[in-house]
Amino acid sequence: MRVAVLGAFPFPYPQGSQVFVAEHTRALVRSGVDAELFTYGSGVGEHPSDLNCIATPGWLSPNTMRSGPTLAKFPADAGLLSTYIRRARVQPFDVAFAHNAEAAMIALAGRAVLKTPVVYVAHTILRHELSAYGADAIDFMLANLGGMVDRFIGRHADGIVALCNDAKRDLGSIARGPVDVIAPGLDPTPSPTDEQVARACAKFTITPGSYALYCGNLDAYQDLDLLAEAAAIMSDDPTPNIVVATHDKSTLPASFEGVENIACVEVENFAQMRALISGSQSVVLCRRRRGGFPIKLLNYMEARKPIVAFENIAPGFEHMTNAWLLDEKADAGELAAALRTLALEPALRQTLGAGARELLETHHGWEQIVRRTCALAESVLSRHSDQ
């Protein structure tokens, strides 16, 4: 099978979507699929040597690495569409895997010319997420716009990979082709050594085992204001300390200002991020918006750390079995209480961390994920050939 993998974003870049797409492409190649990855021409560092990456001209790419809609993405998307069509005319693809909504729109536009069927890999549901990129006064408008995009792609894609049950429920009822819930994968690698953990913590003047960690980007959809509020509640007794590790702290949430019990650190690379995860006491995810699968959860699970997150944020998690799950309406006080309880109960931390690692090993291996993904693609191709 010859596959085009489309991602409408700068690449490479140490952010969840880019990591997911790279690993998905890599797993496809390992399984014997002839896969080529199409992205914007900007990124950080060199393209991975083990992937066949085809990028748009750098001058067409947005200057920002941040998620969300910008006017600069219009020429970037046009360039990505043109690059994809030109390459497909030289050597046609059997199917296109389009990661996220923007790439899906590009792949659907390409289908009008190439007749290549499109499998939409739905990283999120835009009716939940799009409002995070605008003012509160237009939340309703952005949610409606996001819903329109969700419905358009859902009705026109030839197949859909939903990352969670919420996405399948939203898109499955309107889909024209097969829909399957297939969460992202991660094949565990050796943990950072004690020396690597100590070195990473020393760089940021934090003590291993003393902190609750959030790692990832600082975009509004991560709901980090709640974490700042929880940190403020715990400032009178900073157990644990709150550390936010990111690759770019140039746009700190305003809510962090003046909060003593929260430190934001900018890591140099993913190895340093993994070391900070390994050195943490617990790990936290404040995102409430449903519809995707936060990639950082896989890294948390790999490290055997107790996860504090909200109910229904991702499939497979069970309260007090492999995570501490907060009610969707829980406030900062309840988040603070969960982190404090874990700080005081090492046996509970060990139980939840072991459960998280077991979930990773039993449900998120790339071999089984690619097998299911390719089966869905074969179903799409079978339906396509019958038309």
* Residue 52 pLDDT level (bands cut at 50, 70, 90): very high
Give pLDDT tens digits for 208-229.
999 999 999 999 899 999 999 9
Residue 27 binned pLDDT confidence (cut-offs 50, 70, 90): very high
pTM: 0.94
Position 237 confidence tier, pLDDT thresholds 50, 70, 90 = confident
Residues of the chain with pLDDT > 70, as a percent, come to: 97
Let me know whether 181 and 329 are in one domain.
no
Q: Above 70 in pLDDT, residue 387?
A: no
Q: How far apart are CA 183 and CA 319, in angstroms?
A: 19
**HSE of 199, CA atoms in CB hemisphere, 13 A:** 11
Tell me how many domains the chain contains: 2
304 and 345 inside one domain: yes
- The residue to which tokens 């390459």 are assigned: 87
pLDDT band at 64 (very low <50, low <70, confident <90, very high): low
pLDDT at residue 62, rounded to an integer: 76
In the predicted model, is pLDDT for residue 6 greater than 80? yes
237 and 294 housed in the same domain? yes
State whether 138 and 199 are in the same domain: no
Is the pLDDT assigned to residue 53 strictly greater than 80? yes
Q: Are residues 143 and 47 in the same domain?
A: yes
The answer to whether the CB of 383 falls within 8 A of the CB of 158 is yes
What is the identity of the amino acid at 217?
N
Instruction: Indicate whether 24 and 173 sit together in one domain.
Output: yes
314-324 in b/e burial notation, b at 16+ Cβ within 10 A? bbbbeeeebbb
The CATH number of residue 237's host domain is: 3.40.50.2000
- 151 with 165, same domain? yes
Is the pLDDT reported for residue 70 higher than 90? no
What is the mean pLDDT of the segment spanning 78-107?
Answer: 98
Residue 159 has pLDDT above 70, yes or no: yes
Per-residue pLDDT at 65: 59
The answer to whether residues 341 and 255 belong to one domain is yes
Torsion of CA 38, 41, 43, 47, to 10 degrees: 60
Q: In sequence order, what E strands does 231-278 have?
A: 241-246, 262-266
Q: According to the model, what pLDDT value does residue 2 have?
A: 98
Q: Hey, how many other C-beta atoms are within 10 angstroms of the C-beta on 48?
A: 14
- Report the distance separating Cα 43 and Cα 64, nearest Å: 10
Q: Taken in order 338, 342, 344, 345, is the CA torsion positive or negative?
A: positive
What is the per-residue pLDDT across 162-208, written as a single tens digit (0 to 9) for each?
999 999 999 999 999 999 999 999 999 999 999 999 999 999 999 99
- Output the average pLDDT for the chain: 94
Would you state the pLDDT for residue 283? 99
Closest CA to 272 of 14, 40, 46: 14
Q: Are 206 and 241 in contact (CB under 8 A)?
A: yes
Percent of the chain at pLDDT above 90?
Answer: 84
Q: Within this chain, do residues 30 and 176 fall inside the same structural domain, yes or no? A: yes
**Span 330-348, mean pLDDT?**
97
User: What pLDDT score does 170 carry?
Assistant: 95
Strands of 34-39's sheet in order across:
53-55, 34-39, 2-7, 95-99, 118-122, 159-162, 179-181
Give 66's pLDDT tier (boundaries 50, 70, 90). low
- Say if CB 168 and CB 330 are below 8 A apart: no
Asked if 150 and 257 sit in the same domain, the reply is no
The domain of 80 spans 2-185+365-386
Query: pLDDT digits over 265-287, tens only?
Result: 999 999 999 999 999 999 999 99
Q: What is the mean pLDDT of residues 297-313?
A: 97
Burial class (CB in 10 A: 0-12, 13-18, 19+), 282: buried
Mean pLDDT within 317-321: 98
State whether 351 and 380 are in the same domain.
no
175 and 61: one domain?
Answer: yes
